[in-house]
Amino acid sequence: MSNEISIGGINPNQENDTKGPEIELFLNDENFVSGDMTGSNPVLIAKFSDENGINTSGGLGHELLAVLDGVTQNPIVLNNFYRTNLGDFQSGSLIYLFNDLTPGSHELSVTAWDTYNNPSTKTIAFVVSENNAILINGIYNVPNPFETQTTFWVTHNKPRELLNAHVVIHDINGKLVWEEEKTVYSGSNINSEIIWNGQTNDGTEINKGVYLCTITLKSTLSDTKHTETHRIIRK
């Protein structure tokens, strides 16, 4: 046992960490895929993890930064938006709101540093829709095929907005099977409020087979609408 006290010097057991943080980027919700369509006011959701923690103290050249469309002269400093996950210093996330982005294609890059000063950069692409018009990116139903009930998942570019939904289901001969109109709200870019029990409007069970579901979403703010059709199977 030694009573000597060492001041300064180098820790011989220091970890040799040369890897930057893991970064995940989304717009509006975690179903976002790079290249997706958004509105003009998308919300950035960024998640970070590193075994030695994320550097949020800043310092020259070591800020947590976002760069839009490669304009490095005008970066967005995100340090104050970062929140460490409760009970886990190794990971955290942030949310940042963009406003009035121009229509067309964009690229967004986020750079983060760990506490050992190792950087990482993640880049995503997205397209801001023209004229703020509503756009349905896709329709899915779960389960498909279904037996007793199925839920429709509609992805769109109007998060945090009341939408009018018109749903029509026909059989393959064009006969109307079921129809519903309702107002829906999505906190993100995906809505799952449309549920069908496999019956006609008068309560008759439908036969097994293929059906066509046509969904029209209308924006209550921009007064635009978009229609898409999806094939479903009753087994």
Chain segment 61-115, per-residue pLDDT in tens: 789 999 999 999 999 999 999 999 988 999 999 999 999 899 999 999 999 999 9
ω into 143 cis (within 30 of 0)? yes
Tell me which CATH code domain 22-130 carries: 2.60.40.1220
Q: Do domains 22-130 and 133-234 have the same CATH topology?
A: yes
How high is the pLDDT of residue 3? 55
Distance CA 227, CA 212 (A): 13
How high is the pLDDT of residue 14? 52
Where in the chain are the domains? 22-130, 133-234
| Predicted TM-score (pTM) of this structure | 0.64
Distance of CA 164 to the CA centre of its chain: 22
Tens digits of pLDDT across the chain (235 residues):
555 544 444 445 556 778 999 999 999 888 788 998 888 888 899 999 999 999 988 777 789 999 999 999 999 999 999 999 988 999 999 999 999 899 999 999 999 999 999 999 999 999 998 767 888 988 999 999 999 999 999 988 888 889 999 999 999 989 999 999 999 987 778 888 999 999 999 999 999 999 999 999 999 888 889 999 999 999 9
Distance CA 155, CA 135 (A): 9
Name the CATH topology of 133-234.
Immunoglobulin-like (2.60.40)
- How far is CA 79 from each of CA 11, 58, 64, 93, 220, rounded to the nearest angstrom? 29, 7, 5, 11, 35
Report the alpha-carbon angle 180-194-44, nearest 5. Answer: 135
In tens, the pLDDT along 12-25 reads 555 677 899 999 99
Q: What is the CA radius of gyration of the chain?
A: 24
How high is the pLDDT of residue 80? 94
